[in-house]
Amino acid sequence: MSQVYRSDLKESDVTPKEVYLNRRQIMTAAGALAAGSIAGPALAKLATVASPYSTDAKPNTLQEITNYNNFYEFGLSKTDPADNAHTLTTDPWSVEIGGLVDKPGTYGLEDIVKGVTLENRIYRFRCVEAWSMVIPWDGFPLKTLLDRVGVQPSAKFVAFQTVLRPSEMPGQRTGILPWPYVEGLRMDEAMHPLTILATGIYGEPMPKQDGAPIRLVVPWKYGFKSIKSIVKITAVAEEPPTTWSQMAPNEYGFYANVNPQVDHPRWSQKSERRIGGGLFAARQPTLMFNGYEKEVAGLYKGMDLRKFF
Ligand SMILES: Nc1nc2c(c(=O)[nH]1)N[C@H]1C(S)=C(S)[C@@H](COP(=O)(O)O)O[C@H]1N2
Ligand SMILES: [Mo]
């Protein structure tokens, strides 16, 4: 991304009206990036194996998971993605993998998943807005793909990019965020066995509103790290820019580890509302690293998690 946009727009307090009244409308380049040229069949129903990394918490229903979404490319409200995401063409799809890797190239989705064992990972999912779900993802470790393309020792971070296709993504025809949406991980986070590329939910190909056909899931971090509809993965030497830390650097950090002891400047992160729990359900306590402390705390040994939030 060549330009840094500054704004007081926050993930959770914007409405379409405010955006239309207050935000400069940025016309995105009309020539949308073609997703790729390698044609192939859509992913069929997925054969998956269970994973020891799954939580035994009760998963949300597919209905809940596909009707309460954050995917600003399709609008700001939680139901906009369900209403609008059908316009996105996800087949064919390819991912450009490059930077500090031995085998850079444009890989078709069929190629990426060929020979890969898809695992069913039931993960807690915690949005920075203090709601949460339990989602039965189907996917595989990001490490599997990174190992295949050969990450070079000089690569310390991985950068990710969502497809840029304003003709199919109405939110990209507005200036609500700088497009395309970008995210990043430190290399050890990217290589961690909990970090997956997900291609489905409940054994079905990824619903479009959830980031079809392939999205990142990093369960110990706030949801905005889990970038959707990925078309580019780049191994880099320096910490890459990320969409939300550019929008509001004092509110959304690069690390974004779920941490009940570090509140958001405008709300508490000590508890969360589980979607589907009903209007009167009690909030539940938010767990350090979203309950994955045992697995990931070692990654952050000696780091000041207030400074690197
Ligand atoms: N490209 C893109 N990825 C994104 C977002 C987005 O707006 N655009 N929203 C993020 C946020 S804030 C959350 S909470 C999760 C929501 O994922 P879900 O809708 O599948 O639950 O996606 C993340 N990935
Ligand atoms: Mo989020």
Q: What is the DSSP string of 144-166?
A: HHHHHH-B-TT--EEEEEE---T
> Ligand 1 pocket, 223 CB below 6 A?
yes
Q: Looking at the CA of residue 162, tell me the nearest atom of ligand 1.
A: 1
> Ligand 1 pocket, 172 CB below 6 A?
no
Question: Domain tally for the chain?
Answer: 1
- Position of tokens 């993802």? 137
Is 137 a domain residue? yes
Torsion of CA 268, 307, 275, 46, to 10 degrees: 180
Which residues lie closer than 8 Å to 67 by C-beta, 6 or more apart?
Answer: 78, 79, 82, 209
Is 264 a domain residue? yes
> Ligand 1 pocket, 244 CB below 6 A?
no
Report whether 235 contacts 270 (CB < 8 A).
Answer: no
- pLDDT by residue (tens digit) across 222-267? 999 999 999 999 999 999 999 999 999 999 999 999 999 999 999 9
Q: Looking at the CA of residue 133, tell me the nearest atom of ligand 1.
A: 21
Is 243 a domain residue? yes
> Ligand 1 pocket, 73 CB below 6 A?
yes
Euclidean distance between CA atoms 70 and 67, whole angstroms: 10
Is 122 a domain residue? yes
**Residue 48 confidence (pLDDT):** 85
Average pLDDT over residues 277-303: 95
- pLDDT by residue (tens digit) across 172-200? 999 999 999 999 999 999 999 999 999 99
Range of the domain at 208: 17-297
Output the domain CATH number for residue 189.
3.90.420.10
Comparing CA positions, the residue from 20, 3, 21 lying closest to residue 171 is 20
Is 305 a domain residue? no
Euclidean distance between CA atoms 276 and 265, whole angstroms: 27
Is 132 a domain residue? yes
The whole-chain average pLDDT of the chain stands at 89
